[in-house]
Amino acid sequence: MIYIDLFAGSGGLSLGLHNAGLQGLFAVERNKDAFETLKYNLINKCSHFKWPTWLEIKNWDINELLAEHKNELAQLKGKVDLVAGGPPCQGFSMAGKREKNDNRNQLMHSYIEIVKLVDPQILFFENVQGFTVDFQENGKKKNYSAILVKDLKKLGYHINFQIVTMSKFGVPQNRKRFILFASKDRKVSQLFFEKLYGNINSFLDNKKLKPRVTVAEAIGDLMKSKGYVESPDTKRFNNGLYGNVESTYQRFMRKDISSDKLPDSHRFANHRTPTIKLFRDLMRVSDTAIRITPSMNVVEGLKKRGVTPLKEDSVCNTITSIPDDYIHYAEPRIMTVREHARIQSFPDDYEFKGPYTTGGERRKIDVPRYTQVANAIPPLFAEQVGEVLLSF
């Protein structure tokens, strides 16, 4: 089964489809750092993509691709089984500002243009839950999910979509996402979610994984108390060491890693003393993982609009691109990129490239490591999607 990955990010979807046995043709990702991560792991290390000779292996903006290679894309008609991926979600996210004029919202139309040219048999589309929520525009409601469904039906596709919770698929995160599957075959489109949910138990049993994975079960072997050394990629920072494996999930994430290897992107933040004190105070507020805001007046010095101290027996809420949205469940610090990646179900041998963080207005442009992880489709879920697609 041959597919194209649009808005591919750092490669979470492609990694899952690769593990399921699909063959990538090429991936489209605008950001240089995110594409560098995808390229390192899925092109340099395992040659997952059969990259066409007419397309330069680099980070491509989807509209530049359409402008420069429209004829070549049209010639792929009948040669590509699947177009996968979804446009950037920040403009639709309920956690963000949801600005109706966000240019990223318009990339859905570029997605439809590629589908029109390539004309695959099936489509897999993912976005945030807010993709289904109306925008108010000039006194009228505008719903991007309804527009997408309408446009795809015009192209001859039968549509099936749901809001899916990732924790049901063995991912240690209560991440809700809009998932759309489309097929030229009506019966196939109707079967997708039935097969996806019906496959969970056998898939997880085969990998010796549990359907519910807590934060401690996901990242307990990565605590700072397990030891650390100087960071190999950033001066004046420390990188954590591996502790003993404490769960089947940790064993699965580390299955291709030798015990003496340094965990990739496991760099600890250098918190100031007042920040550590604030984090300790926040960690004492509740026995459950709740979001704490300044208006609650439960701690002094909290200026950020909301922070969630995690609890070891909880399933993590949706990982975001803002590192200090969460506090580690046992140590007064933010989580590392590697810990975020674990919660997103990236295996430990998947290495991230580029800077760790960015700030201010650059957040709309840059895609550092934390953002690369947060924006990704969890590979463990994507692999289950891939198995269902292959069954068709």
How many CB atoms are closer than 10 A to CB 183? 23
CA–CA separation, 360 and 76 (whole Å): 41
Q: What is the pLDDT of residue 94?
A: 42
Q: What is the pLDDT of residue 137?
A: 65
Residue 97's pLDDT band, with cuts at 50, 70 and 90, is very low
**Average pLDDT over every residue of 22-29:** 98
Residues catalogued as catalytic: 89
Q: What is the pLDDT of residue 260?
A: 85
Q: What's phi and psi for 376, nearest 5 deg?
A: -80, 155
Look up residue 62 and give its two tokens: 């989807």
CA–CA separation, 219 and 226 (whole Å): 12
Taking alpha carbons only, the member of 380, 353, 383, 391 closest to residue 44 is: 353
Q: Note whether 2-208+377-391 and 215-365 share their fold.
A: no
pLDDT in tens, 186-240: 999 999 999 999 999 999 999 999 999 999 999 999 999 999 999 999 999 999 9
Residue found under tokens 């704490």: 292
Residue ranges of domains in the chain:
2-208+377-391, 215-365
CB contact set of 296 (below 8 Å; sequence gap of 6+): none
% of the chain at pLDDT higher than 90? 85
| Residue 289 pLDDT exceeds 80 | yes
| Residue 56 pLDDT exceeds 70 | yes
CB contact set of 288 (below 8 Å; sequence gap of 6+): 311, 314
C-beta of residue 12 within 8 angstroms of C-beta of residue 382: yes
**Going by DSSP bridges, is the β-strand pair 122-128/176-183 parallel, antiparallel, or unpaired?**
antiparallel
**Going by DSSP bridges, is the β-strand pair 82-84/23-28 parallel, antiparallel, or unpaired?**
unpaired
Q: Considering only 41-55, 157-171, 360-374, which range has the smallest mean pLDDT?
A: 360-374
Cite the beta strand spans of 326-377 per DSSP E: 326-327
* Assigned CATH topology for domain 215-365: DNA Methylase; Chain A, domain 2 (3.90.120)
* Assigned CATH topology for domain 2-208+377-391: Rossmann fold (3.40.50)
| Residue 138 pLDDT exceeds 70 | no
C-beta of residue 312 within 8 angstroms of C-beta of residue 214: yes
pTM of the model: 0.93
Residue 24's pLDDT band, with cuts at 50, 70 and 90, is very high
**Average pLDDT over every residue of 334-352:** 98
